[in-house]
Structure 1
Amino acid sequence: MCGIFAYLNYNVQKERRYILEVLFNGLRRLEYRGYDSSGICIDSDLSQPSIALDPAENGLADGSCKPLVFRQEGKILSLVRSVYDEADSTNLNLEASFSVHAGIAHTRWATHGVPSPRNSHPQSSGVGNEFLVVHNGIITNYEVLKETLIRHGFNFESDTDTEVIPKLAKFVFDEAKTEKGEQTVTFSQVVLEVMRHLEGAYALIFKSPHYPNELIACKRGSPLLLGVKELSEDANGGTSFHDSKFPTMDGQPKELFFSSDANALIEHTKKVLVIEDDEVVHLKDGSVSILKFDYNKAKNHGGLPRPASVQRALSVLEMEVEQIKKGNYEHFMQKEIHEQPESLTTTMRGRLICGDSSKAKSVLLGGLKDHLKTIRRSRRIVFIGCGTSYNAALAARPFLEELSGVPVTMELASDLLDRQGPIYREDTAVFVSQSGETADTLLALQYALENGALCVGITNTVGSAIARNTHCGVHINAGCEIGVASTKAYTSQIAVMAMMALAIGDDTISSQARREAVIDGLFGLPNKVREVLKLDDEMKDLAKLLMDEQSLLMFGRGYNYATALEGALKVKEVALMHSEGILAGEMKHGPLALVDETLPIIVIATHDACFSKQQSVIQQLHARKGRLIVMCSKGEGPLVCSNGSCRVIEVPQVEDCLQPVVNIVPLQLLSYHLTVLRGYNVDQPRNLAKSVTTQ
């Protein structure tokens, strides 16, 4: 899981300092995707001498600019400092101006090889940097490719799977020159031939001095976008933004960007192309060419491939620059916790129908309406996700079972794939993912499609792989999340799945009163979350009491078993503290042995069908001198903790199926404050990255 970014200015004069800052800022916007090392590549002022075509002599394109590569372990700040220090020591002219320049950048979350400069990207083909690549994903057959390239005389310097890619590109380039006796192979042909040999998931950007001021990007299974900012001269000789539905091919002045995420594009342009799997996007002479790579055909192809070009329309990003800034908050996670009333409002906007005296209240989900009959006739509904998304689905499962009458099962995506669990044509498989690009979930989607199931996507990212490849779905519309630990996406996912249950059960007269009560609850949910956010100071005080603890247990059941799991996950993710969410009904089957007067335990006991059972759990924990923190409905503190020996967190009462949305917020606040008090980076927790697009 890494972040890749590239910037190409064409017929727009830009200084090297400006180009560097665009690349650095792109990486800052992507640092949540990887922050153990980073690197960039730009051009120098120095032209390469014309030399022989023998690849052993490190041949470079005549007159091309020498690529400068900077790589550094640690955060982006370390890279920035090292680049400017080296610029000073080598007298690199930062004021040099380029009318055309292509730069690439990368921030890494290590998979192959420890964080270090040699394992950072861009990875190189060797001396001279004839081909340079930045990569997000994993190449599964890199060991075989590496052995082959070593036999052909290549030396490897890193431990990464990525290094085989630029070396393979150089091998293809050199072989083509050998056959033709001169350079006739195009950049796109080199990249297409490289793709033919790669297996796994990847998004790649290539740069080469053999093809000055060109960039090529391609992807399979990892996210990648092209941003387009076209300019035109105004009456005063200046430049202004030019709006176009398609990338122009006329050499008009423009700035072009590649990015793993829209976060890094929005401050430059809202015009983007979501690159699809097996597309190759070639930037040359101000033009954008899109080629479609046929993987199956290419496997049996002889010679260099020449696929036909395709045309794709640009789309408009529905986000603002303010969404990617922290504003008055100290951290993104804090901001996103407090944004939940607004994200819930946005998620439900236009989807809840108020009704009147002649028409019942209802839900309208445009992405599902044509498939509701099929879902209702399903043999079962299977929720598939990972981590927080799995927990959100678990929270919604009881209500969906209640209204649909269809059995609902849960699958962790990785476990489903490991077991090759049964998926049938009569099943509806629901894939839940904040990013829409989670690797295991995508593989499970492919598996379900192959088995003929109806596939539904629930994501927070328009144009993501899950959104594109499912038969139907719902965009949760929670807004971008920068913090690695998901907060507002979780609560919006539960709201969307509650609305999905309402839509599926809309044909049952007997449940009409229940449905209308839940719809009323959804309308009031943002205000209930605002109310519970007022517990912020109380949760900070609780965090001060717990900050030195080594472990924390959370007990929940019914709708709030998912709350216990998600609350514990948040504490683990960001506060780096052992925490375990436990089904309260299983307490006597092992976990009770852990209880003593030193171990803090949170029991979620808001008023629902499981309330009396949770009261029994509290009594049993009291009897064993458990150190209890009880979350209960407002006004019920004395009822759940009659002897005053436990700490009480009181939250607003809502409809039982919506209670997990309210109950998770204090636990999010607790995990946030624990992290800050323990001195850890709350937005970039150790060993984790935002959207895990690698296996």
Structure 2
Amino acid sequence: MCGIFAYLNYNVTRERRYILEVLFNGLRRLEYRGYDSAGISIDSSNQTSDPPLLFRQEGNIESLVKSVYHELRGTVLMGSSRYPVEWEVSAVRYPMELIEVRNITIIKKKRFQQIWREYGTQVECDAKFPSIQPSFEHDPRSFYADLSLVTSHPKLDGVSFSDSNIDFTCSDVAATDLNLEESFSVHAGISHTRWATHGEPAPKNSHPQSSGAGNDFLVVHNGIITNYEVPNLSHDILYIPLLVQLLIGYSQFQRPNMLWMVNLWFLITFYSVECFFPSTVYLLWFGGEGHDTASTMGKVLKETLLRHGFTFESETDTEVIPKLAKFIFDKANEEGDQSVTFSQVVLEVIRHLEGAYALTFKSRHYPNELIACKRGSPLLLGVKDLEEKASSGSSFSDAKFPSSNGQPKELFLSSDANALVEHTKKVLVIEDGEVVHIKDGGVSIYKFDKGKNGGTLSRPASVQRALSILEMEVEQINKGKYEHYMQKEIHEQPESLTTTMRGRLIRAGSCKAKTVLLGGLKDHLKTIRRSRRIVFVGCGTSYNAALAARSIVEELSGIPVTMEIASDLVDRQGPIYREDTAVFVSQSGETADTLLALEYALENGALCVGITNTVGSAIARHTHCGVHINAGCEIGVASTKAYTSQIVVMAMLALAIGADTLSNQARREAIIDGLFYLPRKVKAVLKLDEEMKDLAKLLIAEQSLLVFGRGYNYASALEGALKVKEVALMHSEGILAGEMKHGPLALVDENLPIVVIATRDSCFSKQQSVIQQLHARKGRLIVMCTEGDKASVSVGGSSRVIEVPQLLAYHLTVLRGYNVDQPRNLAKSVTTQ
């Protein structure tokens, strides 16, 4: 759910301002993955011994940019501590200007309030810029500056400050000597945009996470580390064996014997210790003789580090990673190993990690180096050689990669190709278990095996991989003439649908489409046709798309279709058989719950089919076969064009499966013709944009919305309600119209707006009946119908008619003042559970 972006320039001079802008723009491209906080780390100077700078900020990317450039209100004052003092002045704004105040002292808040009363609200200023030398005797976060010693500065002459508009806080946003024009021939920077999972959105919980004072190791992370904290052992599972022994002993001897009393004493002692020292019990239980030390550390990362003197400032699972790296590095140095490499440290770190992750490391001990690794979360490497033209045949292994010969180059790490395409099209999709080490312009790749290298800081053999060429243009990731990505992607649907079907709907001599060709499935169609059932698995919009296609798949294939929400399938371990075909639908191809369901289906021997919008994604790589929907880059968090392309692909899947059945050929050809003309019909419907905007104005103050659908359109009801819910932040519910009398009808009154989908299909007459019943109960009806059916569905002329619920959701969101592209608490790619 988070976004990682890193940039390393080698033998090419770049100013700090340029480096910052590359990192910021990379984060902007990834902001759809999370936008509640962000951070970056860059080098403080060309002196490799200096600690890296760390900038972290709550809020979106622009909040981070402003804090780094000192465009927040006022000026940042930096002392000798790692915690600077931030001076906020609401009356003054000085972008990128630093003011140092002489003779400033640090005192507690109580003392600050006393001095403020003594000296009043007038603060004189001075033009001198001596350095600040504060003294931190206690927690620096609780200290304030002594305003009585601040002298005048000409640019602030005559400005008065009051208690209400001047504030002193502690933050890690900047240093006073940050020179934006300073040049670096080699520099490594990392950045991160966050969607909070562990810990609320706050600077301390933002990434990069640090190993401690001096920023020896810094890490950005996408994923969840499951073994970072000691589990809660207050449950009785540990005591069951002892209780069983006590019961058996008492029943055998009828009175307490010595063994029985010893067991009772041990149980009481064990329980008492567990109550007060749960981590001690955990270590005794799992970390005694015969247990692997590394395995024990893997179970209790945070507890182990606490026992070795580390302190934790954040609430995140990520903080254990840089601290563990420092622990391993320091331990190696204490044992006299001065030659330990960055990759050896990281390999030892990930040997202790459990869970899903994509990680990028930066360290002051290994300047101008970056290391990336992944398991379960996406990560790509981009290579830009500044003296050679890109070629699809490039490959590299270990230090033999051609770019390690001193040639100028730029290297990038990113969670998504969106952030790479404006820099380079030469990419490497990092595989699970791979560790990528960037050093001296060279790239080394190691395949990590957790079962090997036990107890030693060893390094596995390097592997050889080929670079891929991105089939993406920069224009695809820009908003162009549109105000929002969601608006752009809604209006791109005619083109995206055409692209989805291009080369797949085969036209015959009569200029009508006659058949379907899905190259990714052709070798597996016979197996699919012999399946006992087809299981569609997805989450959110992808699940709704599969539900929309269920009826047509059953109709044309004659195979029963079951629907599974990915997380529910995994939770209940639902039955999956070797005779099943499991179809996994995901726009990103990286959805965590869907990947777990895929792993479960593979274990049970089912044929697994992937339907994704991302070439090289985890689902695309791990399924037996699949279809790429070719919808193009979708950045808006609320899926629009990917949804319609997913439905079209699954309709073509149904056509391909049923191609050998003669009895439904007429129906197949009618569906194929309908698909062929679908893009131009969508284009015509999008002309209703202004009408949808007018309708949205009527709903702007509403708090709830019901959407009724039936048959093919039940999925449309669910998806329409989901769109309104996630972007307009209005409660909305998609309801199966056949269930109306089983509860939902009780909600109907003259105030509640209700959308009824009543298109001209086999359920049309039933939906007309639903409309009549809702009208009889004075429901506020908005009917979505087929063109020309307005008179048939508008009872007494009181119903409004719409045709595209996506447009309604978009305009409703804009009118309600919410960010269409960044819905509250949501992210585009759900790569964590």
Q: Same fold (TM over 0.5)?
A: yes
For each residue in 1:34-90, what CA deviation from the matched residue of structure 2 results, as whole angstroms up to 9, or x when unmatched? 11111100001263xxxxxxxxxxxxxxx4342011111111111111111156421
Q: Which residue of 1 aligns with 2:354?
A: 199
1:232–1:242 CA contact under 8 A, matched in 2: no
Once the 2 structures are TM-superposed, how far is the Cα of residue 176 of structure 1 from its aligned partner?
A: 1.3
2:704–2:732 CA contact under 8 A, matched in 1: yes
Once the 2 structures are TM-superposed, how far is the Cα of residue 688 of structure 1 from its aligned partner?
A: 0.4
Once the 2 structures are TM-superposed, how far is the Cα of residue 253 of structure 1 from its aligned partner?
A: 1.4
Once the 2 structures are TM-superposed, how far is the Cα of residue 296 of structure 1 from its aligned partner?
A: 3.2
- The equivalent position to 1:624 in structure 2, one of 757, 770, 777, is 777
- The equivalent position to 2:664 in structure 1, one of 511, 514, 518, is 511
Measure the CA separation in 2 of the matches of 1:129 and 1:465: 33
Are positions 1:677 and 2:763 aligned together? no
Are positions 1:148 and 2:304 aligned together? yes
Once the 2 structures are TM-superposed, how far is the Cα of residue 250 of structure 1 from its aligned partner?
A: 2.6
Q: Which residue of 2 aligns with 1:75?
A: 60
Q: Which residue of 2 aligns with 1:416?
A: 569
Q: Relative to 1, partners in 2 of residues 1:362 and 1:244: Cα closer, same or farther, differing over 3 Å?
A: closer
Letter paired with 1:79: L
Letter paired with 2:37: S
Secondary structure of residue in 2 paired with 1:366: coil
Question: 1:309-388 residue pairs with structure 2 within 5 A?
Answer: 309-356=462-509, 361-388=514-541
Question: 1:106-505 residue pairs with structure 2 within 5 A?
Answer: 106-143=192-229, 144-179=300-335, 181-232=336-387, 245-247=394-396, 248=402, 249-297=404-452, 301-356=454-509, 361-505=514-658
For each residue in 1:321-345, what CA deviation from the matched residue of structure 2 results, as whole angstroms up to 9, or x when unmatched? 0111100001000000000000001
Q: Which residue of 1 aligns with 2:39?
A: 39
Measure the CA separation in 1 of the matches of 2:788 and 2:670: 22
Q: Which residue of 1 aligns with 2:93?
A: none
1:231–1:242 CA contact under 8 A, matched in 2: no
Measure the CA separation in 1 of the matches of 2:329 and 2:725: 48
Measure the CA separation in 1 of the matches of 2:795 and 2:374: 60
- The equivalent position to 1:587 in structure 2, one of 740, 748, 754, is 740
Once the 2 structures are TM-superposed, how far is the Cα of residue 526 of structure 1 from its aligned partner?
A: 0.3
Q: Relative to 1, partners in 2 of residues 1:242 and 1:390: Cα closer, same or farther, differing over 3 Å?
A: closer
Measure the CA separation in 2 of the matches of 1:603 and 1:503: 32
Once the 2 structures are TM-superposed, how far is the Cα of residue 359 of structure 1 from its aligned partner?
A: 11
Secondary structure of residue in 2 paired with 1:308: coil
Letter paired with 2:183: S
Measure the CA separation in 2 of the matches of 1:94 and 1:644: 65
Letter paired with 1:413: A
Letter paired with 1:72: Q
Q: Which residue of 2 aligns with 1:21?
A: 21
Letter paired with 1:39: G
Q: Which residue of 2 aligns with 1:11?
A: 11
For each residue in 1:564-610, what CA deviation from the matched residue of structure 2 results, as whole angstroms up to 9, or x when unmatched? 00000000000000000000000000000000111100000000000
Measure the CA separation in 1 of the matches of 2:777 and 2:531: 46
Identity %: 82
- The equivalent position to 1:569 in structure 2, one of 719, 722, 725, is 722
Letter paired with 2:810: Y
For each residue in 1:181-206, what CA deviation from the matched residue of structure 2 results, as whole angstroms up to 9, or x when unmatched? 14211111111111111111110000
Letter paired with 1:5: F
For each residue in 1:475-523, what CA deviation from the matched residue of structure 2 results, as whole angstroms up to 9, or x when unmatched? 0010011110000000000000000100111111111111111111111
Measure the CA separation in 2 of the matches of 1:359 and 1:32: 40
Letter paired with 1:34: G
Once the 2 structures are TM-superposed, how far is the Cα of residue 306 of structure 1 from its aligned partner?
A: 1.7
Measure the CA separation in 2 of the matches of 1:112 and 1:482: 25
Once the 2 structures are TM-superposed, how far is the Cα of residue 648 of structure 1 from its aligned partner?
A: 2.0
1:46–1:66 CA contact under 8 A, matched in 2: no
Once the 2 structures are TM-superposed, how far is the Cα of residue 241 of structure 1 from its aligned partner?
A: 6.4
Measure the CA separation in 2 of the matches of 1:22 and 1:390: 36
Once the 2 structures are TM-superposed, how far is the Cα of residue 92 of structure 1 from its aligned partner?
A: 1.5
Q: Which residue of 2 aligns with 1:535?
A: 688
Secondary structure of residue in 1 paired with 2:819: coil
Q: Which residue of 2 aligns with 1:560?
A: 713
Any gaps of 5 or more consecutive residues in structure 2? 71-75, 77-95, 99-175, 230-299, 397-401
Q: Relative to 1, partners in 2 of residues 1:360 and 1:32: Cα closer, same or farther, differing over 3 Å?
A: closer
For each residue in 1:129-177, what CA deviation from the matched residue of structure 2 results, as whole angstroms up to 9, or x when unmatched? 0100000111111112111110111000100000000001111111111
Once the 2 structures are TM-superposed, how far is the Cα of residue 297 of structure 1 from its aligned partner?
A: 3.2
Secondary structure of residue in 2 paired with 1:104: strand
Measure the CA separation in 1 of the matches of 2:598 and 2:8: 35
Measure the CA separation in 1 of the matches of 2:623 and 2:305: 38
Measure the CA separation in 1 of the matches of 2:554 and 2:745: 30
Q: Please tell me the root mean square deviation across aligned C-alpha atoms, in Å.
A: 1.4
Q: Relative to 1, partners in 2 of residues 1:193 and 1:182: Cα closer, same or farther, differing over 3 Å?
A: closer
Letter paired with 2:481: N
Say which is worse superposed, 350-359 or 672-681, in terms of deviation: 350-359
Measure the CA separation in 1 of the matches of 2:211 and 2:513: 66
Letter paired with 2:737: A
1:536–1:669 CA contact under 8 A, matched in 2: yes
Q: Which residue of 2 aligns with 1:687?
A: 825
Measure the CA separation in 2 of the matches of 1:454 and 1:252: 47
Measure the CA separation in 1 of the matches of 2:325 and 2:500: 45
2:536–2:583 CA contact under 8 A, matched in 1: yes
Measure the CA separation in 2 of the matches of 1:134 and 1:405: 49
Secondary structure of residue in 2 paired with 1:107: strand
Q: Relative to 1, partners in 2 of residues 1:360 and 1:159: Cα closer, same or farther, differing over 3 Å?
A: closer
Query: In the comparison of the two structures, how many residue pairs are matched?
Result: 656
1:7–1:23 CA contact under 8 A, matched in 2: yes
2:390–2:426 CA contact under 8 A, matched in 1: no
1:65–1:212 CA contact under 8 A, matched in 2: no
Measure the CA separation in 2 of the matches of 1:109 and 1:357: 53
Measure the CA separation in 2 of the matches of 1:407 and 1:241: 48
Any gaps of 5 or more consecutive residues in structure 1? 48-62, 234-239, 652-665
Letter paired with 1:343: S
Measure the CA separation in 2 of the matches of 1:457 and 1:88: 53
Secondary structure of residue in 1 paired with 2:302: helix
Measure the CA separation in 2 of the matches of 1:303 and 1:214: 22
Measure the CA separation in 1 of the matches of 2:210 and 2:537: 38
1:44–1:66 CA contact under 8 A, matched in 2: yes
State the TM-score, normalizing by the size of structure 2.
0.78
Measure the CA separation in 2 of the matches of 1:686 and 1:221: 25
Once the 2 structures are TM-superposed, how far is the Cα of residue 358 of structure 1 from its aligned partner?
A: 12
Secondary structure of residue in 2 paired with 1:66: coil
Measure the CA separation in 2 of the matches of 1:691 and 1:336: 16
Secondary structure of residue in 2 paired with 1:513: helix
For each residue in 1:582-639, what CA deviation from the matched residue of structure 2 results, as whole angstroms up to 9, or x when unmatched? 0000000000000011110000000000001111111111111111111111111111
Measure the CA separation in 1 of the matches of 2:512 and 2:224: 53
Secondary structure of residue in 1 paired with 2:378: coil
